[in-house]
Amino acid sequence: MASCSKYRILSLFLVVLLLAPVTGVASSAGNIIAADSFNTSINSSTENDLFTELSSQMKLYNENFDKVPSLVQRLVGSEEIAGRIELNNGEMLYVTLLMRSGKVGDFYRYDTPNDPDSKFGPSITVESDENTIREILDSDDSLRKAVEKMNEGSLTVEVEGFFRKTVLYCIQQLYS
């Protein structure tokens, strides 16, 4: 079983990201690929592409939701979270998390910088690179590592609204 800090980092990643129906998304714009029902192995390695690895972590996050810090639960609430990750091969990975009461409802990727299925746009946007995300996922204290990366500038989180900005600020102060 993964450590509690793994759930914390995934929760922070969800905060900074960083999910269309798991069964598929209908869209006329762009190529959208829904995460496969979380059936992939759960370890950071070059064997798994980052999208596959992240999709496998979503089930763990939902299963261990009671271990997610309440500040993170409040921040992600029922939000749309967009992730823009520069992969090691130079390509971009664009993902969306659709949260439902703090849990991951849907997680999918698409080929364009803007989610073609987004109705209102993301309220939280996360930008980073593959190495930073993998370093956070592999850390023993992933939530603190994510905040460290935010403070260094290799993990950028933009939130809309005063409440979300206040909660993100509190998370950064508590886990610095």
Pair of tokens at residue 84: 């823009």
- Give me the pLDDT at residue 45, please: 44
| Contact between residue 169 and residue 138 where contact means Cβ atoms under 8 Å apart | no
Number of domains comprising the chain: 1
> What is the domain extent for residue 95?
4-174
Largest CA distance in the chain: 43
- Give me the pLDDT at residue 166, please: 94
**Alpha carbon of 65 to those of 60, 98, 109, 120: distances in Å?**
8, 15, 23, 26
pTM of the model: 0.74
- Give me the pLDDT at residue 61, please: 86
- Give me the pLDDT at residue 7, please: 57
- Give me the pLDDT at residue 18, please: 37
CATH number, position 25: 3.30.1050.10
pLDDT tens per residue, the chain (176 residues)?
A: 455 555 555 555 554 443 322 223 333 345 566 655 444 444 444 446 899 989 888 888 889 889 888 888 888 889 999 999 999 999 999 999 999 999 999 999 999 999 999 989 999 999 999 999 999 988 888 789 999 999 999 999 999 999 999 999 999 999 98
- Give me the pLDDT at residue 24, please: 31
